[in-house]
Amino acid sequence: MTGIGNGVPRVEGRAKVTGAALYTFDLQPSEIGATQPILHGAAVLSTIACGRILALDTAAAEHSTGVRLVLTHRNMPPQAEWGPLNANVRFARAQPVFGDEQVRYFGEPVAFVVAESFECARAAAASIQVQYEADQAHTVLDSEHGIDPAPLHGGQSSDSSVGDFHGTFATARHRIDVQYETPYQNHAAIELQASIAAWDGDHLTVHTPAQITSAARTGLARTLNLPEDRVRVVARLIGGGFGGKLPYFADAVLCAVAARQLRQPVKFSFTRQQMFTATTHRSAVSHRVRIGVTTEGRITAISHDAVSQTASFDNYVDGSTAGAKGLYGAKAIRTTQRIARLDLPRSDSMRSPGDANGSMALECAIDEAAHACGQDPVAFRILNDTRVNPTTGRPYSSRHLVACLQEGARRFGWEERRSGRKGEWLIGQGVASAMRDNLVRPSAAQVTLTPAGQLVVRLDMTDPGTGTITILTQIAAETLGLPMEKVTVMLGDTDFPKTSGSGGSFGAESSGSAVYEACLALRRRLDDMTKGRDASPETVLRLVGEAGGVTAEGKIAPGDETKRYSEASFGAQFAEVAVNVHTGETRVPRMLGVFACGRIINERTARSQALGGMIWGLSSALIEANNVDHRGQMAMRDLANYHVPVLADIQNIDAVLLPETEPVANPLGMKGIGEVGINGAAAAIANAVFDATGIRIRRFPITLDRLLPGLPPLA
C-alpha cells in the first residue's frame, strides 16, 4: 500500500543520507550541461552600517593568482532600480547588487572576485582594501519610533479593529497590559546560499536554491534587464529553506553577471559567517499585548501592537498579529503592525514569519490572563474558543482547537500534572494554542504517462527538505492507481509549470492539488482513448505507446471560498520544564504538540514538520537569538556562537496529528502543516518556566542570566 496517509519514507531519503544527493554548490560542469570548468567566486562585505565607499583598492586582487574578474560598483553593468517596493510578489523584485557606492548595512557585499579556484578567489578577496565614509547609523529597534508601513505597501494596511477596544478594555474586570520582546534570529540552514550561473548564447540558467523558482526568475530578469523567457532558474534540491530562501540573493546576480562577462560558468556560495548579514533574518519585535477578561474568565478585549525592524530600503513587516485577530472570541479586537527602518540587513520570512514570535507574546499574555482570573490555562482557552474569526466575521472552514487542547491535555496528563521542586530542579508545565492561516496559491502541474508506463510529473514546486517530492509522488500514485516506483516527480525548474513554490505552509496543498487535477485530467484523456470501455492495463499501455505518451495538465487557484470562510490550521502545545534552582539552566523533559491540519498525506514527513517546528519553538524560548553590536554588525556569525538546540536539548517530544478533513480549501482536504508546529511552542515553554519558578520573563530567549536574580536564595 503506497497511498495517501501512509508514512512512506522520503523518495530521496537514501540519496540524502548517503551523500549522493546533489545540492546546488555540489554541481559539476557535466551536471549543468557545461563543457567548460566552473569558475569560483568570493565576496567582500562592508564593515560599516551606513555610509559610502570612498576608495576600493582591488589592484592586488586583480593581479592575484588565478583571478579572472573583480566586480565592484565601479564596473558593474547597468541594472534595474531596486524594487518596486510594492511589487505583487515580494520575492520577484529587482535587487541590483553594487548599484552605487552607498553602504546600507554592515556585512553588505561590496566586491566580488572570480578566479579559477575557490582558494584563489578567497585569497584575492582577502586582499581587497575598502575605505569608507561612515554616516550616523540607526541600528537600535525602538518601539516608540515605529512607522505605519501602509504607505510603503500601496496604502494597504495590516491593522485591524472590531468593536470598541479601548472602552471594553477599560471596563474589563481583569486587565493584562504587557510588553514582550522577541529577538533577531538567523536561518542557519545547513545549505549555504549559493548559485551557479551559465549562459548559452543569450539564455541564462541559474542554479540556486530558491524556494519559489518563478519569483527568482522574474526578479533576476528584472534586475538584469532581460526578457523573462531568457532566464531559467533551477532548484532541484534545497538543503533547508525556512523562508530564508524565498528571496534570491546577491550570489545569483553576481554569478550571472560574471558568467556573462567571462563566457564561462561561475559558482559562488556565501560563507557561513557571511550568511548572517548577506541574506535575510527574522526581525526582532517589540510586542505590546493587552487583554481584558470578565470575572467569569471571558475574554472581551484583545489588542496586539507589534513593532519590527526592516531594512532602511525595504518594507517587510514582521510581528504578525494573526493570533490576536483570530484565536479567541473577543468582541473588541484591535491590532497594529509598525516597522522601524534601520541600517541593518533585510529582515524577511522565517519559519511561520510573524506568527512564530507573535504567538510567543500573545500566548504568554493569555497565560497571564488565565492566572489573573484564576482559570486553568487549558480551560481558559477552551472557554474562549470561537467558531467564527472575530475580526473577519467569517466562519472557520474547519477548526479543532478545542479537540487539540483536550486530546493534548489527556495525553500529557494535564490534570495530574505535578509542579514543584524535585531535587535541585523546579518543575513546571505550560500550554499554548497554535494557529496558522491556510493559503492556496495558483499552481499548475503537468503529468506524462510514457510508453514504458512511467508517470513523469513536472512542476516548478521545490522541496526544501520538507518531503514535497514524496507527497507529490504519493498523490500522483494514489490518483492514478500506480505503485510509487512508477511515478517520477521532477521539481524546481522554471521550464516546468508554475506553482506556488514552497513557503507559507501553502506549498503542499497548492502543488498537491495541481498534481491531483493533472492526474484526473490524464485519467479523462485515457478514458477518451479507451472510449469509456473498461480497458485492461495492457490495452491502456498499448494505446499510450501508440500515442508516444500521453500528457495532461491540471491547476488550482483559490476560489470564492476564501471570501466566505476563514481557513487555518490549529494546534495545542504542551511542555514540561525543569529549571535548575541553583543555576537557572532550563531543560525540557517533555513536549507534546497536537495538531489539526486537515488531511495528512504522509504521516512521517508531516510529523517531522511538526517536531521540527516544536524544536525551533524550544530554541526560541530558551536558546536562540542574535544581537546587533555597537557598530551595527550581527554579533553571532557562526554555529559555535549562534546557538540552536543540539540533540541533548531534546528529550521526550511527540507530535500527534488529529484526523481532520478540510472541507473547502482544496480538493484533497489538506491544510498547511509547515508552520503551525512552531507557533505557541515557545510560549508553552515560557509558561511552564513561570509555572516552575513564578518568574515571568518577557524578553526572549529565557537564558539563565534572566532567571538568576529571581531564583530562591541558596539554602
Partner 1 sequence: MKDFAFSTAHSVDDAAHAAASGARPIAGGTNLLDLMKLQIETPNRLVSVRRLPRLDRVTVTDEGGVRIGAEVTNAALAAHPLIRQRYPLLSRAILAGASAQIRNMATTGGNLLQRTRCVQFYDMTDACNKRQPGSGCGARMGGNRMNAIIGGSEACIAVNPSDMSVALRVLDATVHVQDATGRVRAIPVASFHLLPGETPERETALQPGEIITEISLPPPPMGVHHYRKVRDRTSYAFALISVGAVADIREGRIVSARFAFGGIAPRPWRVEAAEAAMANRPAEVATIEHACDIALEGAKGYGDNDFKILLARRTLVATLLT
Which residues from 613-672 bind partner 1, rule CB under 8 A? 622-623, 627, 629-631, 633, 635-638, 640-641, 643, 645-649
598 strand-pairing partners = 670
CA–CA dist 39, 27 (Å, integer):
12
Query: Length of the chain in residues, anyone?
Result: 715
Q: Which of 78, 202, 538, 714 binds partner 1 (CB under 8 A)?
A: 714
1/646 with CB nearer partner 1: 646
452/639 with CB nearer partner 1: 639
207/281 with CB nearer partner 1: 281
42/322 with CB nearer partner 1: 42
CA–CA dist 128, 171 (Å, integer):
64
Q: How far is the CB of 311 from partner 1 (least distance, A)?
A: 19
Q: How many CB atoms lie within 10 A of CB 415?
A: 9
Q: How far is the CB of 51 from partner 1 (least distance, A)?
A: 14
Which residues from 90-119 bind partner 1, rule CB under 8 A? 119
Q: How far is the CB of 181 from partner 1 (least distance, A)?
A: 16
Which residues from 540-569 bind partner 1, rule CB under 8 A? none
Q: What is the pattern of x (binds partner 1, CB under 8 A) and - over residues 689-708?
A: --------------xxx--x
Which amino acid makes up residue 277?
T
65/161 with CB nearer partner 1: 65
Catalytic residue among 567, 624, 662, 675: 675
Residues that bind partner 1 (rule: CB under 8 A) add up to a total of: 40
Q: How many CB atoms lie within 10 A of CB 60?
A: 15
Q: How many CB atoms lie within 10 A of CB 151?
A: 13
Q: How far is the CB of 600 from partner 1 (least distance, A)?
A: 31
Q: How far is the CB of 708 from partner 1 (least distance, A)?
A: 6
Instruction: DSSP letter for 232, please.
Output: E
Residue 675 catalytic? yes
Q: How far is the CB of 630 from partner 1 (least distance, A)?
A: 5
Write down the residue that cell numbers 497536537 correspond to. 594
| Residue 243 Rama label (left phi>0; alpha psi -120 to 50; beta) | left
C-alpha torsion angle, residues 63, 68, 74, 78 (rounded to 10) = 170
Q: How far is the CB of 590 from partner 1 (least distance, A)?
A: 15
| Exposure of 37 in the CB half-sphere (CA atoms within 13 A) | 7
Buried b (16+ CB within 10 A) or exposed e, 189-218: bebbbbbbbbbeeeebbbbbbbbbbbbbbb
Tell me if 46 sits within 8 A of 106, measured CB to CB: yes
490 strand-pairing partners = 458
Which residues from 337-376 bind partner 1, rule CB under 8 A? none
Bridge-based pairing of strands 443-449 and 455-458 is: antiparallel
CA–CA dist 531, 561 (Å, integer):
35
Which residues from 2-61 bind partner 1, rule CB under 8 A? 47
CA–CA dist 585, 689 (Å, integer):
11
560/705 with CB nearer partner 1: 705
Q: How far is the CB of 524 from partner 1 (least distance, A)?
A: 55
Q: How many CB atoms lie within 10 A of CB 157?
A: 12
Tell me if 112 sits within 8 A of 70, measured CB to CB: yes
48/552 with CB nearer partner 1: 48
417/643 with CB nearer partner 1: 643
Which residues from 458-517 bind partner 1, rule CB under 8 A? none
515/636 with CB nearer partner 1: 636
Which residues from 581-620 bind partner 1, rule CB under 8 A? 582-585, 587
| Exposure of 46 in the CB half-sphere (CA atoms within 13 A) | 33
C-alpha torsion angle, residues 125, 113, 41, 260 (rounded to 10) = 180
Q: How far is the CB of 640 from partner 1 (least distance, A)?
A: 7
- Let me know how many helices (H) and strands (E) the chain has, helices first: 18, 26
Q: What is the pattern of x (binds partner 1, CB under 8 A) and - over residues 116-155?
A: ---x--xx--x-----------------------------
Read off φ and ψ for residue 470, nearest 5 degrees: -70, -45
Q: What is the pattern of x (binds partner 1, CB under 8 A) and - over residues 420-459?
A: ----x-----------------------------------
Packing angle, helices 213-223 and 250-262, rounded to 10: 60
Write down the residue that cell numbers 537569538 correspond to. 625
Beta strands in 438-502 (DSSP E): 443-449, 455-458, 487-490
Give catalytic residue positions.
675
Which residues of the shown chain bind partner 1 in the complex (CB under 8 A)? Answer: 47, 119, 122-123, 126, 273, 424, 580, 582-585, 587, 622-623, 627, 629-631, 633, 635-638, 640-641, 643, 645-649, 703-705, 708-709, 711, 714-715
